[in-house]
């Protein structure tokens, strides 16, 4: 950027790069996301987290399905797989089982993971496959033009709910905990530090972990629902978010309107044997493994 007109020539320090440059694929930037979209912040948090944890980047694998969020796999500089719509979780399951040394994360949108991919989410959590699932919930299908999705709140306007949505949305942390995830948390893109910490925890935790990121999609959801541009939505998060780690499941419902709070926090952290651990246990019992 030119410093001309700022009246402080000579004082501006030129930075050659960003400390996270090596974690992003520089040759793929700029990204395709809209101004004000929360996906940049979500990706930055993830980049910080994968760098901080004590797992070599070489052993990290990032997968995604299809959608704006799904594009993240193409920007982060680790082995990455951009699969079919909704199918990143089973793809990740095969990858993890074939090479248990890999730290496997699926990063995708609410539509991808919970509409078309819903069944896979259920079963991977039930099996406690050792993968991490991070869902960017922007309450709509961003990439295809702002249609209703499985997290669209009642009354919300989307391009396919012109009269307001009349479907009950998923409460994602509730769902994840109910079906067997060992770690469940939710943050908004305003809660960068918390989110990073949660991601670090998930990456290091054995078993199926789930993080929901409430994120602005000004293009598809913010404008039609009077949440405004990205920055205004972040203001809204600041006003309405309540950190409540021991929240009850019904408190976690998201309405995204009026006085209703956005309850965030580290909701669940528990232990149980993973899919591969149980497999090993059974085989040992039957004498197939020493």
Ligand X SMILES: Cc1ncc(C[n+]2csc(CCOP(=O)(O)OP(=O)(O)O)c2C)c(N)n1
Which of 25, 82, 85, 123 touches ligand X (CB under 6 A)?
Answer: 85
Q: Does residue 218 bind ligand SF4 (CB under 6 A)?
A: yes
Instruction: Annotate each residue in 68-87 with x if it binds ligand SF4 (CB under 6 A) or - if it does not, as one string.
Output: x-------------------
217 sits near ligand SF4 (criterion: CB under 6 A):
yes
Q: What are the Cα distances from residue 116, in Å, to 9, 110, 174, 265?
A: 54, 10, 19, 27
- In the complex with ligand SF4, which residue's Cβ is closer, 90 or 216? 216
Q: Least distance to another protein from the beta carbon of 261, Å?
A: 35
* 59 binds another protein per the rule CB under 8 A: yes
Site for ligand X, residues 126 to 145, rule: CB under 6 A: 136, 138, 141-144
Name the maximum alpha-carbon separation found in the chain: 77
Q: Which is nearer to another protein, 103 or 199 (CB)?
A: 103
Using alpha carbons, select from 243, 195, 244, 201 the residue that is nearest to residue 215. 195
Residue 129 near residue 194 (C-beta atoms within 8 A) = no
Which stretch, 14-22, 82-90, 216-224, 239-247, contacts ligand SF4 (CB under 6 A)?
A: 216-224
HSE-CB at 37 with a 13 A cutoff on CA atoms is 19
Between CA 68 and CA 273 the distance in angstroms is 34
Nearer to another protein by Cβ, of 118 and 224: the residue is 118
Stretch that binds ligand X, among 96-104, 110-118, 157-165, 226-234 (CB under 6 A): 110-118
Q: Which is nearer to ligand X, 110 or 233 (CB)?
A: 110
Looking only at the bridges linking them, the beta strands covering 262-269 and 131-137 are unpaired
Distances in Å between the Cα of 73 and the Cα atoms of 91, 154, 199, 214 are 14, 31, 16, 19
Q: Name 258's Cβ contacts closer than 8 Å, sequence gap at least 6.
A: none
In the three-class reduction of DSSP (H, G, I as helix; E, B as strand; rest coil), residue 48 is classed as helix
The contact mask relative to ligand X for 57-76 (x = CB under 6 A, - = no) is ---------xxxx-------
87 near another protein, judged by CB under 8 A: yes
Nearer to ligand X, 112 or 130 (CB): 112
């Amino acid at each position: 950027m030119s410093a001309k007109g700022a009246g402080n020539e000579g004082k501006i320090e030129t930075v050659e790069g960003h400390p996270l440059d090596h974690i992003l694929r520089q040759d793929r930037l700029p990204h395709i996301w809209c101004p004000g979209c929360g996906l940049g912040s979500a990706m930055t948090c993830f980049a910080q987290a994968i760098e901080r944890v004590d797992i070599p980047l070489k052993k990290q694998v990032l997968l995604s399905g299809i959608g704006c969020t799904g594009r993240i796999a193409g920007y982060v500089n680790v082995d990455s797989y951009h699969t079919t719509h909704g199918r990143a979780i089973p793809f990740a399951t095969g990858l993890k089982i074939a090479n248990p040394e890999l730290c496997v994360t699926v990063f995708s949108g609410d539509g991808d993971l919970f509409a078309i991919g819903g069944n896979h989410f259920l079963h991977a959590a039930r099996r406690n496959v050792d993968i991490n699932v991070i869902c960017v919930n922007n309450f709509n299908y961003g990439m295809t033009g702002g249609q209703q999705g499985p997290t669209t709140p009642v009354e919300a306007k989307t391009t396919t709910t012109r009269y307001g949505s009349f479907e009950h949305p998923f409460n994602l942390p509730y769902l994840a905990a109910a079906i067997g995830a060992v770690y469940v948390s939710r943050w908004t893109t305003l809660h960068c530090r918390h989110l990073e910490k949660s991601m670090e925890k998930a990456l290091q935790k054995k078993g199926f972990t789930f993080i929901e990121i409430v994120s602005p999609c000004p293009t598809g959801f913010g404008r039609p629902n009077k949440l405004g541009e990205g920055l205004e939505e972040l203001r809204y998060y600041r006003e309405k978010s309540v950190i409540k780690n021991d929240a009850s499941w019904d408190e976690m419902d998201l309405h995204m309107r009026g006085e209703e709070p956005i309850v965030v926090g580290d909701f669940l952290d528990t232990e149980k044997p993973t899919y591969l651990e149980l497999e090993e246990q059974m085989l040992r019992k039957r004498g197939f493994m020493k």
